[in-house]
Amino acid sequence: MTTIGVVGLGAMGGRIAGRLLAQGNNVRGTNRTRAKASALLTKGLVWRDTPRATAQGSDVVISMVTDDDALAAVTDGQDGILAGLEPSSIYIDMSTVSPQTTRALAERVAARGAAMLAAPVSGSVPAAEEGSLVIIAGGPAGAFERVEPILRELGSTVTLVADASEALLLKLAINVSLAVQMLAFSEGVLLAERGGVDRNVALEVMTHSAIGSPMLQARAALLRELPNNAWFDVAMMQKDLRLALDTGRDEGVPMPSTIVADEILSTASAAGYRHRDIAVMFRTLADLPAVPRARPSARTGGSVPA
């Protein structure tokens, strides 16, 4: 039986560990706060006190943490993953971090004689629970072949790209589109509602139209009633958008819609919605001051604020 170590048992990492346990794997794990692992312990998770102890003796090690700093905290130092990684092990980082951080970490793992895959995921909490994530894996083909069965327990779509940094670039590209879609959808629904259309009718029609992507169909209910527990919160999305904007500047890519989405997320965060689902973009727009009506300009024939 394959022994899998999971470092980071938060909203996504905990559900990944739970999915692996449900599939009959031998899973050990650790988290900054043990309380988050209590439900997993009752399902058979073996607790380890440190990332190093989690990596030691594991055939596969998976990390799922929030950002670059958190990844450094669990990989570096005498208690980090790298210190406990076996040469025969495969390390899979499923976090969304900068491509540069991933590339440097992969080099350090290789220097220890082990192999690393970056495998960021697209999909929120329900997809992690169901094993229907979209997984983008980047790294050595041989390592991928060894762990592909495990990845397919977690994702309905698993794709290998050339290297770890490419996997992260694709993940950032997906999240740019996710945020911009959510903003545009919120604008459209608010426009329809302010014009007299019942919100439920607008949601039904729009999600079954040409714009009804799977993401919008899944999140439409969140515009009716925003849940307390986020599928993907404002803080995490904004972190990803800013990684994308940094990468866009490096690559010379104009990203105007990403900039606007980031601004709306900043407004949401300032209004106290930092840890609410990104569907709160709708509420954020609704709370903004109304745009002044325009009246014709006698001099130009154009419009001026009323």
Query: 194-212, pLDDT tens digit by residue?
Result: 999 999 999 999 999 999 9
Query: 259-268, pLDDT tens digit by residue?
Result: 999 999 999 9
Instruction: Say whether both 147 and 15 belong to one domain.
Output: yes
User: What's the rounded Cα separation, in Å, for the pair 178 and 216?
Assistant: 9
pLDDT in the model for residue 295: 63
Give the DSSP letter string of 162-214. SSHHHHHHHHHHHHHHHHHHHHHHHHHHHHHHHTT--HHHHHHHHHTSTT--H
Task: Tell whether 297 is covered by a domain.
Answer: no
Task: Tell whether 296 is covered by a domain.
Answer: no
pLDDT in the model for residue 299: 55
The alpha-carbon radius of gyration of the chain (Å, integer) is 22
Instruction: Say whether both 39 and 122 belong to one domain.
Output: yes
pLDDT in the model for residue 290: 79
**Rounded (10°) angle between helices 234-251 and 164-194:** 120
Identify the domain containing residue 209 by its residue range: 169-287
pLDDT in the model for residue 160: 97
This prediction's pTM:
0.86
Domain boundary among 114, 133, 162: 162
Instruction: Say whether both 93 and 207 belong to one domain.
Output: no
Low-confidence stretches of the chain (pLDDT < 50) are: 304, 306
pLDDT in the model for residue 124: 85
pLDDT in the model for residue 128: 92
Look at the chain and report how many structural domains it folds into.
Answer: 2
304 three-class SS? strand
Task: Tell whether 222 is covered by a domain.
Answer: yes
Domain boundary among 162, 194, 215: 162
Query: 125-149, pLDDT tens digit by residue?
Result: 889 999 999 999 999 999 999 999 9
Long-range pairs for 21-24: beta carbons < 8 A, 24 or more residues apart: 21/45, 23/131, 23/153
